[in-house]
Amino acid sequence: MFTLKDLVRRTVLTKRHCYAVCGDDGNLTWEQFQDRVERVAGALVAAGLNAGDRVAIMSLNNAIYFQFLYAVIWAGGIVVPINTRYAPKEVETCLEDLDGCWLASDEHFVTLLRSLEPQVHGVKGHFFVGKGAVPEGYTGFGTLLEGDASLVAGDPLTTDVALIFYTGGTTGQAKGVMLTHQQLTYATQQIAAAFRTDKPLCFEDRYLHSAPMFHMADGIMCFVTAMLGCANTFMERFNVPEFVEHCNRFSVSWITLVPTMMKALCDYLQETGKAIPSIKGIMYGGSPMPRATLAQIMDVFGDVQLFHGYGSTEGLIITLLEPKYHTLDEKNRRLLESVGKPFHGVLLGIFDADGKPLSYGEIGEVYVRSNGVMKGYWRNPQQTAEALRDNWYHTGDAGYISEDGFLFLVDRVKDMIISGGENIYSIEVENAIGTHPSVDEVAVIGRPDSSWGEIVHAVVKCKNGHTLTYEELAAHCRQWIAGYKVPKSIDFVDDPLPKTPVGKINKAAIREAQEKVHLLET
């Protein structure tokens, strides 16, 4: 009975003079925001948008995108933010998969979309959410703002889909994750509750969208800010000096970053002597925070609150490592490597390959149960049935739960290597190799082997000016991990390892490339 529209209405009711948007193009209060969103929604209805219509958006972060996203939802449509780093063919596949859609784009992607359109069936219209001249054939945002709010007939049901996020594009066919109003408000509320600390995220805060909004990690914050009535500000792309400048210009107090970005930011602040005194909360994810980076953050940001979240597009929010564990105390050394405890309202289980539940400390696949778990994959009942089995969402992540209830992730299940009957988690091996001071990047994969089933193989890029031999690195590994986990082969490369669109090392691409390269035999 409570939709994403009600979330905005509630904030307008209780905090209408607070800011929804601030930035170079001016500020909007939540009341002004809702008024604009309603008018744009009316224009979308007038243009022929029906309830349940998909609206694909290809845009870098900006305030118009933010308003347009809510307007589509207001009109009863489904927002489909497309990963702007996808290759053209991947974008085409997503658009085609939508089975008829509307297109929205900023100035950066109009050309790309035009090149794809001949291959995409059922495009119903074009909206421009960028800067500068409105491209031909597109309806500009200024025109949309002249819409008639009264044309919006009613509200969606809470069980209606509000968003589709495509995921997994780089490791196979992209799948459209369907998320309903209820699932999104549920997850939003969990995050809002987690941010209720003694220095809570509140109406006085300004959240900077510097991570791409097409990714759930930042995308969900579009709803969290609306629930808490705090202001949104936007950067098209993350870039350290501009980030610092933006934060200081708009007194940004809350951000989302991955640890590698945090490190680059701290390095820059330490080198330049600059500061961002307004920051009070930092959400991160993707990997644990190295203690060295944590020390740097404490040096640069003082007692800033760090939140380590683990989630996925399909499961939304899953676990959280709260600020209190982000210290350099010896007692937190172990916990800092975890992803924390399940949110209230989220149940976890660890299961073996046969679906048998495992106990504390035993490694297996992480299953999740919550009201935030997706409705399913768009037009993909088979993959849906695979992911949502036995009343659990199967994350594909491998990990264990400690006796004190913390979740430790060790790997993707499909990245587990089975060698001579032993399960080997590639991340364990990667961590061992990564401790060598000459190593810059590393990826560990399994390679088919006639006698062992699979063997452990590593791909390593040394730091500039450093070199290593197989023997040196294998000897180093033996100090950290059991002999059977030490790579049987290592490939030393000069170029940075390939990355996925969200900046993770792309193991699928490495596996493919490795099939073609010479192996340095043991």
Question: In this chain, which of 158, 305, 338, 514 binds a copy of itself, going by CB under 8 A?
Answer: 158
Q: Mask 198-227, x = binds a copy of itself (CB under 8 A)?
A: x----------------------------x
Rule CB under 8 A: say whether 293 interacts with a copy of itself. Answer: no
What are the DSSP calls for 143-212, one per residue? HHTT--GGG------TTSEEEEEEE-GGGSS-EEEEEEHHHHHHHHHHHHHHT-SSS---TT-EEEE-S-
Question: In this chain, which of 20, 95, 192, 316 binds a copy of itself, going by CB under 8 A?
Answer: 192
Closest Cα to residue 517, out of 491, 489, 486, 496?
491
- Reported as type and span, the H/E element at residue 490 is strand 489-493
Other beta carbons within 10 angstroms of residue 402's beta carbon come to 14
The amino acid sitting at 319 is T
Question: With respect to a copy of itself, which residue has the nearer C-beta, 370 or 419?
Answer: 370
Closest Cα to residue 80, out of 111, 57, 62?
57
- In angstroms, give the least distance from the CB of 68 to a copy of itself: 23
Query: Which of the stretches 21-29, 150-158, 246-254, 414-422 binds a copy of itself when contact is defined by CB under 8 A?
Result: 150-158
Q: Which residue has the tokens 């036995």?
A: 390
Query: Which of the stretches 106-114, 117-125, 186-194, 461-469 binds a copy of itself when contact is defined by CB under 8 A?
Result: 186-194
- In angstroms, give the least distance from the CB of 81 to a copy of itself: 24
Rule CB under 8 A: say whether 367 interacts with a copy of itself. Answer: no
Residue 518 CA to residue 344 CA, distance in Å, equals: 50
Rule CB under 8 A: say whether 342 interacts with a copy of itself. Answer: yes
Query: Which of the stretches 72-80, 183-191, 209-217, 481-489 binds a copy of itself when contact is defined by CB under 8 A?
Result: 183-191
Rule CB under 8 A: say whether 10 interacts with a copy of itself. Answer: yes
Question: With respect to a copy of itself, which residue has the nearer C-beta, 9 or 85?
Answer: 9
Rule CB under 8 A: say whether 155 interacts with a copy of itself. Answer: yes
Other beta carbons within 10 angstroms of residue 494's beta carbon come to 7
Question: With respect to a copy of itself, which residue has the nearer C-beta, 105 or 190?
Answer: 190
Residue 407 CA to residue 346 CA, distance in Å, equals: 12
Q: CA 310 from chain center: how many Å?
A: 9
Question: In this chain, which of 273, 330, 382, 391 binds a copy of itself, going by CB under 8 A?
Answer: 391
Question: With respect to a copy of itself, which residue has the nearer C-beta, 223 or 378?
Answer: 223
Rule CB under 8 A: say whether 196 interacts with a copy of itself. Answer: yes
Question: In this chain, which of 237, 333, 334, 344 binds a copy of itself, going by CB under 8 A?
Answer: 344
Torsion sign over Cα 445, 410, 192, 195: negative
- In angstroms, give the least distance from the CB of 332 to a copy of itself: 17
Rule CB under 8 A: say whether 345 interacts with a copy of itself. Answer: yes
Question: In this chain, which of 9, 108, 114, 263 binds a copy of itself, going by CB under 8 A?
Answer: 9
Closest Cα to residue 131, out of 227, 23, 30?
23
Q: Which residue has the tokens 């640890």?
A: 259
Question: With respect to a copy of itself, which residue has the nearer C-beta, 8 or 211?
Answer: 8
Residue 65 CA to residue 228 CA, distance in Å, equals: 20
Rule CB under 8 A: say whether 328 interacts with a copy of itself. Answer: no
* Paired strand residues for 217: none
Question: With respect to a copy of itself, which residue has the nearer C-beta, 332 or 371?
Answer: 371
Residue 399 · residue 413 · CB < 8 Å: no
Residue 282 CA to residue 456 CA, distance in Å, equals: 36
Q: Mask 15-54, x = binds a copy of itself (CB under 8 A)?
A: x---------------------------------------
E strands present in 329-377: 341-342, 346-351, 364-370, 376-377
- Reported as type and span, the H/E element at residue 447 is strand 439-449
Query: Which of the stretches 92-100, 210-218, 364-372, 413-421 binds a copy of itself when contact is defined by CB under 8 A?
Result: 364-372
Question: In this chain, which of 29, 67, 189, 232 binds a copy of itself, going by CB under 8 A?
Answer: 189
DSSP reduced 3-state for 74 = helix
Rule CB under 8 A: say whether 234 interacts with a copy of itself. Answer: no
Question: With respect to a copy of itself, which residue has the nearer C-beta, 117 or 204?
Answer: 204
Question: With respect to a copy of itself, which residue has the nearer C-beta, 93 or 183?
Answer: 183
Kindly provide the b/e burial profile for residues 7-22, where b requires at least 16 CB atoms within 10 angstroms of the residue's own CB: bbbebbeebeebbbbb
Rule CB under 8 A: say whether 59 interacts with a copy of itself. Answer: no
Residue numbers of the site for a copy of itself (CB under 8 A)?
Answer: 1-2, 6-7, 9-10, 13-15, 154-155, 158, 182, 185-186, 189-190, 192-193, 196, 198, 227-228, 341-342, 344-348, 369-371, 373, 391, 393, 401, 404-405
